[in-house]
Chains A and B, each alone.
Chain A
Amino acid sequence: MSQAATTTQRRVSWFEATARQRLAALLDPGSFTEFLGPAAREISPHLALFGLPAQFDDGIVIGQAKLGGHEVFAAAQEGRFMGGAFGEVHGAKLVGLLRAAKAASRDAVLLLDTGGVRLQEANAGELAISEIIRAIVDLRAEGNSVIGLIGGRAGCFGGGGIIAGCCTRLIVSEPGRISVSGPEVIETNRGVEEFDSQDRAFVWRTMGGKHRYLTGGADCFVDDDTTAFRAAAIETLAGRTPLTVSVLEAEQARLKARLKRFGAAKDGSEVWQALGVTNPASVPGMDTEEFLNATKAVRESADDAR
């Protein structure tokens, strides 16, 4: 552990890190206490039916910790196990954590990395997502914050995307993708002319971290670096936006304005053009600093209307 302190500023990719590595890098050193950890062996009761291996934490790590000295509850999905998808146990752990956060009046940080519902236990997963959304709204209505961090391998798809939309604030990196229907799902249902899931650049222009940040779908854009996520999370936790009717009225106006302003666009680059980004074609190639400098004056901010 002391190694971390002596290592020079080596960049650790959030995208490449495991759920446990992300938590270790994000939270104050040594402050994390896990709830229902692998020793409890609470595995999925359903995967065996499909002949699939289970994991002792069911692909999600939850617990309490400090973040910049601030007491928080934290959850991290493991995108390498079943694509970070929500099953019965996986989902219930997060439901429990959010309910506990409300009882203890703590903020929550969610390290989302998920393909959505785990199809082998689809109904339980779908319902867990609904329970998570309700628990987030309950927690936020009490005045606590729920911060979402998105930049993992599995992205944030399906019901995971809807959960993201319920968070107080979102921190994303370039590889972070947020959407409801995944690229393959749209292509399968609507054809390759509607959505070419193999065209990676197009996928990122439609649902990638930069596009979400530019349109107000995310609040902070950071490097694919655990240190950058930590700094942004500490800064974000300092704010306070209880969920009220006026927040939702402001969100209503914000989303309506987005449809009016950009609804005719066929591609992310057309949205960026309409925003007033000087050279939209160069956006995907920009590093974080260039990108933030080139867009800060024109991007749509969510302005806490989320």
Chain B
Amino acid sequence: MTHDKLLSKLFPAGHNVIVQDGLVFGGGTLGGSQPVHVIGVAERSFLGVEGAIALAEHVLSAVKGTARHPILVLVDSRSQRMSRHDELMGLNEFLAHLAKCLLLAAAQGHRTVALLYGGSAAGAFIATALACDTLLALPGANPEVMDLPSIARVTKLPLEKLQEMAAATPVFAPGLENFAQTGAVAQTLDPAGDLAAQVLEALSLPPTLDERDRLGAERGGRPRAAEIAARVCREAKTA
């Protein structure tokens, strides 16, 4: 789905969201009833230092306001921008800063909901969609850590073999279904239905503690994580 189409479905009565250089900023009234702040990455853009700091500024200005409106993060990106400039400037700090801003906004009472409507990968995914309380997705969205040909190169396994393995296990292969099974994606929306209503419904649920590992265990995509983390907490308590 293009961002224009997505925005018109979310904000049928109009909005003041702008998309510039692959970055999304603004706000609107979701489904005509719920004011939200909007940020995001569009047009399959890479997220670099300039983009991350601009998005973080928007989050901080939302937090400065008195109203605790939800923050909606729309994502159709590629990975972090890979370049000499970005690493020389300390991209790790910029992406961490954006993630911290979103997480602290949630702690300040803003609901943070991401909607993955295209691609996302690696550091860009961590600093945007994965830094929200709730991650929603549209069918056809394609989150990944790394594409299979690159994984084949690094692991020195034949691509055909990897494709075969990917069909059997969700734990390493790209794709929405695989990420949903590991617990990253709370819910996949129905694009034929009322998108605004579906996002509003997700917003109406109270924020919870991080339950993605428990969800991953339930769905079978991350069999061990929740139990391991819980066991560590128990051992720490009795130590």
Contact = CB atoms under 8 A, between A and B. Distances in A.
Interface of A: 33, 35-36, 42, 45-46, 49-50, 62-64, 73, 88-89, 91-93, 95-97, 99-101, 103-104, 117, 119-131, 133-135, 137-138, 141, 158-159, 161-166, 178-181, 185-186, 188-190, 194-195, 206-207, 211-212, 215, 217, 243-245, 248-249, 251-252, 255-256, 258-259, 262-263, 265-268, 271, 306
A46 B233 contact: no
Interface size class of B (residues with CB under 8 A): 35 or more
Given A119-B151, A165-B95, A185 B82 contact: yes
B232 A62 contact: yes
Contacts of B85: 263
B45 interface: no
B236 A206 contact: no
A36 B125 CA distance: 30
Main secondary structure of the interface of B (DSSP, over half): helix
Contacts of B108: 245
Given A35-B235, A211-B88, A252-B53, 19 more contacts: A88-B225, A93-B228, A95-B213, A97-B236, A119-B172, A123-B172, A123-B179, A127-B222, A162-B123, A180-B80, A180-B92, A180-B122, A181-B91, A188-B150, A206-B87, A207-B88, A217-B90, A217-B93, A245-B108
Main secondary structure of the interface of A (DSSP, over half): helix
B171 interface: yes
Given A99-B233, A100-B233, A123-B221, A189 B82 contact: yes
Interface in B200-239: 210, 212-213, 216, 221-226, 228-233, 235-237, 239
A133 B225 contact: no
A255 B213 contact: no
A49 B212 CA distance: 24
Interface of B: 49-50, 53, 56-57, 60, 63-64, 80, 82-97, 99-101, 103-104, 107-108, 122-123, 125-127, 130-131, 145-146, 150-151, 153-155, 157, 165, 169-173, 178-179, 182-184, 210, 212-213, 216, 221-226, 228-233, 235-237, 239
A92 B172 contact: no
A206 B100 CA distance: 24
Contact of A91 (B150, B151, B154, B225): B225
5 contacts: A88-B228, A97-B236, A180-B92, A188-B153, A248-B56
A119 B172 CA distance: 7
Contacts of B213: 92, 95, 127, 131
A141 B104 contact: yes
A120 B96 CA distance: 24
A259 to B, nearest CB: 6
Contacts of A256: 53, 57
Contacts of A96: 228-233, 236
Contact of A46 (B87, B123, B171): B171
Contact of A178 (B92, B127, B172, B223): B92
Contacts of A165: 90, 92-97
A127 B228 contact: no
Contacts of A207: 87-88
B171 A36 contact: no
A224 B90 CA distance: 22
A162 B170 contact: no
* Shortest 7 CB-CB contacts between residues of A and residues of B: A165-B96, A96-B232, A161-B92, A100-B236, A96-B229, A122-B145, A92-B228
Contacts of A262: 88-89
B145 A180 contact: no
Task: Report which residue of B88, B94, B226 has the largest number of chain A beta carbons within 10 angstroms of its beta carbon.
Answer: B88
Contacts of B183: 127
A92 B104 CA distance: 22
A162 B232 contact: no
A158 B123 contact: yes
Contact of B239 (A33, A180, A194, A217): A33
A185 B226 CA distance: 31
A243 B86 contact: no
A244 B223 CA distance: 35
Contacts of A244: 104
B141 to A, nearest CB: 14
A166 to B, nearest CB: 5
Nearest to A262: B89
Nearest to B101: A248
A91 to B, nearest CB: 7
Contacts of A33: 239
Contact of A120 (B63, B90, B155): B155
A178 B127 CA distance: 17
Contacts of B231: 36, 96
B93 A181 contact: no
Contact of A133 (B131, B145, B146): B131
B87 A181 contact: yes
A283 to B, nearest CB: 14
Nearest to A46: B171
